[in-house]
């Protein structure tokens, strides 16, 4: 293992560090999802399948949350889908980084989550694919295991995530990842507009949709002539 | 099949299709320049939105709770050039402390 790490450059090792940190910070959410599965009457083996086959925290919580509240599978699926619609927009960003081989794209698409997108986007251009893979695989290692542990062992551990302040680590990680890109008027304008759109739309739209609308803020970039298409 | 199983299968298929559509349709072609310009700003817009939703959103409600403290601390730490791990840990500590001291 050290041999592999030894062959990576300094930037790639930094990326691995970020991927590991992000993966650790999703673990408590995985535990919480396992607990939620218990509430919804979903056995641990099926909980594991949710986390490996769906592999999307927001959608998993939304769908199983509906089931736990006594909702129908149809309602659960719709809730889960709404929270995944943003991946169509993410796919636009991702498509630019992926190697051309179809089979790699087929597999890579499954690893598309907020975290892998964020780590890839924060990496320098030549390491975006690496960053995306590192983030995706790191979370893919931790998330299913945490879910199963939560389902089996943690029936009664309410508020674990809140007590440890873990729920703040996700936005903090996202903020840290875009921080270097928030330079210059264009980036700051897009970020501010996106944040404003989001705040306005959260009470108005079903969960998952405000983020897509914020993508419209990126349309600002279209209006700026000769914008350097090079994110830092 | 149980409700959980039906939901699992339908959700897994639907979510994967959403993730795979653009990368597979593009299939190795590069984005047209117009879309490239948008795509370069998309992460900024999307991540800004995600920071907001994961800080102040709870379902369809806007909630100001201890997470805001954590993000404020994270912002200060970033401004002071703290490292990634430090920023994340400080955010968790600030939020946990804020909750322990009596705020949601």
Tens digits of residue pLDDT in A67-90 = 887 788 988 898 888 888 888 888
pLDDT band at A168 (very low <50, low <70, confident <90, very high): confident
Work out whether the CA dihedral A124, A130, A135, A138 comes out positive or negative.
negative
Residue B79 tokens read as 């401004």
Neighbour tally for B100: CB within 10 Å: 11
Q: pTM above 0.80?
A: no
CB pair distance less than 8 Å for A178 and B19: no
Tens digits of residue pLDDT in A2-54 = 556 667 899 999 999 999 999 998 888 888 888 889 888 899 999 999 999 99
CA distance B87 to chain A (A): 7
Portion 106-165 of A in contact with B at CB < 8 A: 106, 108-110, 112, 114, 117-118, 121, 162-165
Average pLDDT over residues B71-92: 92
Option in B21, B36, B62 nearest A91 (CB): B21
Residue A96 tokens read as 């630019």
Average pLDDT over residues A121-139: 94
Residues sharing a CB contact under 8 Å with residue B93, sequence separation 6 or more, in sequence order: A165, B73
């Amino acid at each position: 293992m050290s041999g592999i790490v030894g062959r990576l450059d300094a930037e790639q090792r930094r990326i691995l560090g970020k991927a590991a940190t992000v993966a650790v910070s999703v673990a408590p959410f995985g535990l919480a999802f396992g607990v939620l599965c218990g509430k919804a009457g979903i056995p641990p083996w099926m909980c594991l399948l949710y986390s490996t086959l769906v592999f999307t925290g927001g959608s998993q919580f939304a769908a199983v949350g509906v089931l736990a509240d006594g909702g129908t599978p149809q309602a659960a699926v719709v809730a889960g889908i709404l929270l995944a619609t943003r991946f169509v927009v993410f796919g636009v960003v991702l498509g630019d980084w992926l190697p051309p081989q179809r089979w790699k794209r087929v597999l890579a698409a499954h690893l598309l989550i907020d975290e892998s997108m964020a780590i890839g986007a924060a990496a320098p251009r030549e390491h975006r694919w690496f960053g995306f893979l590192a983030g995706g695989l790191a979370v893919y290692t931790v998330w299913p295991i945490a879910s199963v542990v939560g389902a089996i062992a943690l029936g009664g551990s309410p508020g674990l995530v809140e007590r440890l302040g873990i729920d703040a680590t996700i936005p903090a990680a996202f903020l840290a990842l875009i921080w270097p890109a928030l330079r210059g008027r264009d980036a700051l304008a897009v970020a501010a507009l996106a944040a404003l759109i989001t705040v306005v739309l959260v009470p108005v739209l079903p969960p998952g949709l405000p983020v897509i609308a914020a993508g419209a803020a990126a349309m600002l970039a279209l209006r700026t002539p000769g914008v350097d298409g090079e994110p830092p | 099949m149980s409700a959980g199983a039906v939901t699992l299968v339908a959700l897994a298929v639907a979510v994967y299709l959403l993730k795979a559509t653009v990368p597979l349709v593009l299939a190795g072609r590069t984005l047209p320049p117009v879309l490239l310009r948008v795509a370069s700003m998309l992460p900024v817009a999307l991540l800004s939105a995600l920071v907001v939703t994961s800080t102040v959103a709870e379902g369809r409600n806007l909630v100001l709770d201890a997470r805001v403290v954590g993000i404020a601390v994270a912002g200060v730490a970033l401004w002071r050039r703290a490292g990634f791990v430090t920023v994340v840990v400080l955010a968790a500590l600030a939020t946990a402390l804020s909750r322990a001291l009596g705020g949601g």
